[in-house]
Structure 1
């Protein structure tokens, strides 16, 4: 057996948290080691779940071809949360009560993930969030870990790039009106104003919003010299197209979550000249990145995006911890605090700060869309 791409875990008739805790160490005696994944397979964020599956499966193929976890195959089961906090709580109860689940991965948004964090913490099951950039995500306790860079670190870097690198002084900010988007906006605004910049407009929008014309009319009248998008790539692409249609001719900068070939495809020629930052790009020359890109393209026939890479790294990080430190829930938690020097795609080396439980030492790279592709921006 290698991987599984099932999206509903089988109920095993275990009723109650106490029994789940009592059997938490039993996974070592099983014939497979199982990761529980919660994320969007349907709903507005389904494309991210699909990107995860590609990254997960590529990693598992290589891990199991190389003997799995010290001779035991590694697998995952994927519960569809639709990125809904109510669903993540229900899924958490299932995973906690299933002794085969040794670690949980996900959910997609910090809001959805954090709704379930207290349950995982109380049960002693690691919640490993690899797309969770909310600065408070890991604060629920010592079983909550993340390989995602927190917005408290990324947003000041974006503000510095806007102010120092692009010469922006008066910015209009469009942001998703979610906990993630509002937190990102607030952190960016604070950092940009501290540098001496001015926020001339700050406009929130709903995740399913499609028409930004009224918002852009207000922004145009504010006369910014730059636009900042705290967006994901589908809504960011819509904004970029409508900025162009509105005749607003100022530089556009987006948070790193817009970095995807799909952003360029959806935005078309409106993507030209859009700036972002990234910890990973298929064009980066580092050997681990180029090996991943080659394998990914051979397997799937298209270029990987950062969500593919983050998912790939998440499985490989957990596999490395299990090989070295053990496969029980407690051993995985302890191992995450000890592992270091692990090569990965997103970062040259992976290690975690034992106090914040966040990945440490990342380096951000500015990008620009040029001739229909992201490339490194060099002023």
Structure 2
């Protein structure tokens, strides 16, 4: 197969240095015991590993992703699986901690029956183990890793979400052309996710004659009081506030900014599209904007029926892009196994070749470098819910 990408050796070494030294056998794996072996040439099961957050600051994402995968596999295996053989998942909790992710990754790589892995949730964690999975020749398909460099780290790297680079391009255009804002204030999480968006946004908004006037960052799990950051931003002449982070901190920023009477439009990253954010903010969330590759108003065939069933099965989980992208990820991997069997390289090639894949939220394609190409939808909070702002 023609190389679809060239891995960056320097980036790989910098990400792995200091992490590999902490690797061991104390991973947090659990699961269905999907070891291969059985009568004749058929295995007892086909095994996929899942790496995500079931504890820590981002545990809610891991639980929603697990619910999505379980719903899919229940149907898939009830329909016969792969020639009568079920696909099973071993679940690994990495706490969204890159060091823990490396430990978990080593445990997975020690299991010869694993065909592919889903996750991790964060870009930092995904990039920490990308070189390991590339060397082992195992597909690492993250539904949520949006760092532009992730899929350039090897032929076995895939993502189910648009990249930060693509998101930032669309955000700059939307903020300028649709919202009419030229002077932007930003509060962003001090992580790979936030820093990359911050750095990409500066030249992108300049293309539209705009300017990032002021930017303040925070640390997940440490910053609780955002009022000093908001107060600094309030002293500047800005047209809107761009919030970059995840829903728990995003909700606090919105609530505290409204209390401090920062009277400008608020727009946030796609990761803030959680019903929990609205539940925390209450009326303060009204008018909050974001762009996302998920919309509950999606008219793709079968989507509304799927959405209703998921919500009935999981009343405490709000459907978002992570749920939809994870469903597409397990679907694509299972179809790959159905078509080419348990051969790891063949599974990679099949995934990479998908040009019009029928995802639950609509048809999408897989780019040569392993990026899923999906459209973005403008969303706004009205009457306690995210609705389309198209």
The verdict on a shared fold, with TM-score over 0.5 as the criterion, is: yes
1:367–1:375 contact (8 Å) kept in structure 2: yes
Q: Does 1:269 align with 2:290?
A: no
* Secondary structure, aligned partner of 2:48: strand
Structure 2 counterpart of 1:376:
388
Structure 1 counterpart of 2:246:
232
5+ residue gaps, structure 1, are 1-6, 13-22
Cα displacement (A) at 1:66: 1.1
CA distance in structure 2 between the aligned counterparts of 1:213 and 1:294, rounded to whole angstroms: 39
Cα displacement (A) at 1:29: 4.0
Structure 1 counterpart of 2:130:
117
Structure 2 counterpart of 1:89:
102
CA distance in structure 2 between the aligned counterparts of 1:331 and 1:85, rounded to whole angstroms: 28
Q: Pick the aligned partner of 1:300 from 309, 314, 319.
A: 314
CA distance in structure 2 between the aligned counterparts of 1:196 and 1:164, rounded to whole angstroms: 10
Cα displacement (A) at 1:115: 0.5
Q: Pick the aligned partner of 2:342 from 327, 347, 367.
A: 327
TM-score normalised by the chain length of structure 1: 0.90
Give the 5 Å matches for 1:27-176. Answer: 29-176=42-189
Cα displacement (A) at 1:192: 0.8
Question: Bigger CA drift: 112-121 or 184-193?
Answer: 184-193
CA distance in structure 2 between the aligned counterparts of 1:308 and 1:51, rounded to whole angstroms: 6
CA distance in structure 2 between the aligned counterparts of 1:375 and 1:41, rounded to whole angstroms: 28
1:288–1:344 contact (8 Å) kept in structure 2: no
Cα displacement (A) at 1:369: 0.6
Structure 2 counterpart of 1:317:
332
* Secondary structure, aligned partner of 1:217: helix
Q: C-alpha deviations, 1:118-177, integer Å up to 9, x for none? A: 000011111111100000001111011111211111111011100100011111011100
CA distance in structure 2 between the aligned counterparts of 1:60 and 1:341, rounded to whole angstroms: 22
Structure 2 counterpart of 1:287:
301
2:29–2:104 contact (8 Å) kept in structure 1: no
CA distance in structure 2 between the aligned counterparts of 1:298 and 1:349, rounded to whole angstroms: 25
1:130–1:147 contact (8 Å) kept in structure 2: yes
TM-score normalised by the chain length of structure 2: 0.88
